[in-house]
Chain A
Amino acid sequence: MDLTFTPEENAFRDEVRAFLRDRLPADIAAKVAAHTALSKADYDTWHSLLNEKGWLAGAWPRKFGGQEWSAVQKHIFEEETAAAHAPRTVPFGVAMLAPVLQAFGSKAQQDYYLPRILSGEDWWCQGYSEPGAGSDLASLKTRAVREGDHYVVNGQKTWTTLGQYADKIFCLVRTSTEGKPQEGISFLLIDMNTPGIEVRPIILIDGVHEVNEVWFTDVKVPVENLVGEENKGWTYAKYLLTHERTGIAGVGYAQAGLDSLKRIARAELQHGRPLIEDPLFAARLARIEIDLMAMATFNLRTVAGADAGAAPGAESSMLKVKGTVIRQTINALALRAIGPWAMPFVAEGLEDSNLYHPGPDYAAKASNVYLNNRKISIYGGSNEVQRGIITKAILGL
């Protein structure tokens, strides 16, 4: 056992910190810290800064222009960027589609799409879920029917995160109704500008426009946009799910959330004294910090295991469940910490956007964030589904 990072890993951390200090635009970091919704331009700016440094593709294999980061390096990068209030790297192109293309795409697809992901020319979104197919993703119904050198796609995707910014969408579509539902699914790349595609906004409970419905009516997709083989899409989708799991615990976000919670608790007064001195509140704060310390090590154990070649199997389900619950608990404590300032509720998408929150800055978005982050235990495989995986795959019940 050795709980220290290697000198190389520490050097990497220093390099990430220096980069963030020098290159992360202050206005963007301020928005992230204040939980203000980022514009497409903000994301694009950050992506191109990362790309210049070669870090947008840090996790990619070298032959595709990446740095082949180890799982520990990925972890360090995620931790440092969260602490510095850098925007999250929008995962759909870089972290979700790219590994699938690298493993299963044609040479032509790799040559065409991968550079465009890095350059930011293509903003991708993920078209998996449908109104009737959430946890039971394999029951998806969006049809793709082969007609000559095209597929004709009809159906509806939903929950499409940031689809309003997207140039392209990777979709799971049904190409066969024979055999098991999983066996008739294909992985299709679709240009969002194709006639017959309509994007409708969904406003979330905290008032933000973050997700969308995407409707397909007789959308013609060239057959060369099929990834891999027809009816093998489920395999590729699962490949995607079992990789890119290092960040699943969200330790960096949790740590950033805890730091901001402590700042609130120092600033907010209760009976004339800082709230952080209140024994009840201090106990709640300590408990979650203790959990987070254990979580960080749990995460590193899994991360180190992945570097040693272990498949990030069901452990990542444990990380997902506990990691999301810890983050949600921190959000709930922030809501509690701001006291009655939780009541003024200014929601960007719901009200006149000229309204501003009347309380202290740190109170402005606490209830919005609390509400919005209820999603993290629902998406990416709900916590119930994860527990199901744990019971079967780890516990053998």
Chain B
Amino acid sequence: MDFTHTEERRMLADSLRRTLERGADWGDLAELGVLGALFTEDEGGFGGHGYDIAVVFEELGRAGCNLPVLDAGLAGGMLADAGRADLVERLIAGDLKATLAYGEPGLRYDLGPIRTAANGGTVSGHKSFVTNADEAGLLVVTALEDGVVKVFGVDPRGPGVTMMTTPALMGGTISEVTLDRAPAEALGPAETLESRLAAATLAVCADAIGTMDTVRDMTLDYLRTRKQFGVPIGKFQALQHRMADVAIEIEMARSAVINLSGHLDQAAPTRDRHVSAAKSLIGRTAHLVAEEAIQMHGGIAMTEEYALAPLARRLTAADSRLGDEDWHLARFIRLSA
């Protein structure tokens, strides 16, 4: 057993952390190799394994970074599976932003049955919850063709594409995308969608761990400095024990994420059992950490101006992304039967 990351991964994490602290843009991330770390060597990157994904997203979450790295990994993964090394290369270089449009209204967290359909070089339908589509240069869209789910490339600014974009609870944006005979390039079958979503789920979990670490540290700082009744509020045992519980739950969550990272490359049933175990636990813990952090801060944490606000929303949203606590609990039960 060895619970330390490799030298390379640690170096990447450290330099990513420093870069994010300075305020990084998309070009900085590409230059650092953050995007390359999401893909295997075969795909043109130098990572792509569970631990690579975990270290990158933990740092993004720690910094509360809203750049569309998850979208790059998820859409890029589907592009890699479709054999589009050219597009993956541009993506890793930071020259192309892409996002995956796979959700549809009425499905909640299920992947199907979808209704968006391809016909004669176009796709039509309604895609929901597409993250950071407003900035993307390419939409990777799932659609039915001849009864099979396939992947298509669509120009988000092309004809037949309408987007209704709002801010997202976790940061960034989220769009409802209507496709009306939008010109589409067929990329291939979508059989790898589940395994790519497994990696994306790990990314959301690791992101939440980083955010929880920051939220815990902020709360600790506040407990040490905020005084009421003449003492730092961290002297009140009522808060001390709750803070201790938060710290315990974060270490449990971190362990679940390590567990998932180590099983991401396994065959689907094993992998997905770990995906659902980790995501269910993370969903539960993310809510706990956000709620407890707000409560222990008192009124100040209710304000938009205080830096906790976007992080608390990010943790709240973590449960609503890619399957919530209950959805994954039910899936875990099914996969364990």
Binding site for B on A (CB under 8 A): 129, 132, 134-136, 139, 158-159, 202-205, 207, 268-271, 278, 280-281, 284, 328, 332, 335-336, 339-340, 342-347, 349-351, 355, 357-358, 367, 370-371, 374-375, 377-379, 382-384, 387-388
Contact = CB atoms under 8 A, between A and B. Distances in A.
15 contacts: A205-B294, A270-B327, A280-B326, A280-B329, A280-B330, A335-B320, A336-B324, A345-B168, A347-B167, A350-B167, A367-B313, A378-B294, A379-B299, A384-B236, A384-B295
B302 A205 contact: yes
B160 to A, nearest CB: 19
Contacts of B128: 340
Contacts of B230: 136, 139
A158 B299 CA distance: 10
Interface in B284-316: 287, 291, 294-295, 298-299, 301-305, 309, 312-313, 316
Contacts of B238: 384, 387-388
A271 B109 CA distance: 9
A295 to B, nearest CB: 20
A133 to B, nearest CB: 8
B228 A136 contact: yes
Contacts of B176: 358
B298 to A, nearest CB: 5
Nearest to B171: A345
Main secondary structure of the interface of B (DSSP, over half): mixed
Contacts of A268: 108
Nearest to A346: B166
B321 interface: yes
B313 A345 contact: yes
Interface in B114-149: 128-129
B106 A205 contact: no
A205 B166 contact: no
A378 B298 contact: yes
A387 B330 CA distance: 36
Contacts of A204: 302-304
Nearest to A269: B106
Contacts of A328: 291
Contacts of B330: 278, 280
A336 B323 CA distance: 10
Interface of B: 103, 106, 108-110, 128-129, 164, 166-170, 174, 176, 227-230, 236, 238-239, 287, 291, 294-295, 298-299, 301-305, 309, 312-313, 316-317, 319-321, 324-327, 329-330
B229 A344 contact: no
B166 A355 contact: yes
B167 A129 contact: no
Nearest to B310: A205
B304 A339 contact: no
A358 B166 CA distance: 8
B287 A332 contact: yes
Contacts of A344: 129, 166-169, 174
- Pairs of residues from A and B, 9 with the lowest C-beta to C-beta distance, nearest first: A342-B320, A136-B228, A345-B169, A339-B108, A203-B304, A344-B166, A205-B309, A358-B176, A136-B229
A335 B164 contact: no
Contact of A346 (B167, B287, B313): B167
A205 B174 CA distance: 19
A371 B316 contact: yes
A343 B304 contact: no
B295 A335 contact: no
Given A203-B303, A271-B110, A367 B316 contact: yes
B313 A269 contact: no
Given A129-B299, A205-B303, A135 B228 contact: yes
A225 to B, nearest CB: 27
A93 B282 CA distance: 45
A374 B304 contact: no
A326 B305 CA distance: 28
A340 B229 contact: no
Given A342-B169, A384-B239, A370 B326 contact: no
B316 A335 contact: yes
Specify which of A270, A349, A350 lies most central, judged by the most chain B CB atoms within 10 Å of its CB.
Answer: A270
A374 B129 contact: no
Contact of B302 (A269, A332, A375): A375
Contacts of A378: 294-295, 298-299, 302
Given A345-B166, A382-B298, A384-B238, 16 more contacts: A129-B299, A136-B228, A139-B230, A204-B303, A269-B106, A270-B110, A336-B320, A336-B325, A344-B168, A350-B167, A367-B313, A367-B316, A371-B312, A375-B299, A378-B298, A379-B299
A358 B168 CA distance: 12
A362 to B, nearest CB: 14
Contact of B294 (A345, A346, A374): A374
Contact of A340 (B108, B287, B294, B302): B108
Nearest to A132: B227
A350 B309 CA distance: 12
B170 A343 contact: yes
Given A280-B326, A340-B320, A358 B299 contact: no
Contacts of A203: 303-305
Nearest to B108: A339
A256 to B, nearest CB: 22
A371 B329 contact: no
A367 B174 CA distance: 15
B291 A374 contact: yes
Contacts of A336: 319-320, 324-326
Nearest to A210: B302
B318 to A, nearest CB: 10
A204 B321 CA distance: 24
Nearest to B324: A336
Contacts of A340: 103, 108-109, 128-129, 320-321
A172 to B, nearest CB: 16
Contacts of B319: 336
B299 A342 contact: no
B317 A350 contact: no
A129 B319 CA distance: 34
Contacts of A339: 108-109, 320, 324
Given A135-B229, A205-B313, A377 B169 contact: no
Contacts of B239: 384
Nearest to B283: A336
Contact of A134 (B167, B228, B317): B228
A88 to B, nearest CB: 18
Contacts of B170: 343
Contact of B166 (A278, A357, A375): A357
B291 to A, nearest CB: 7
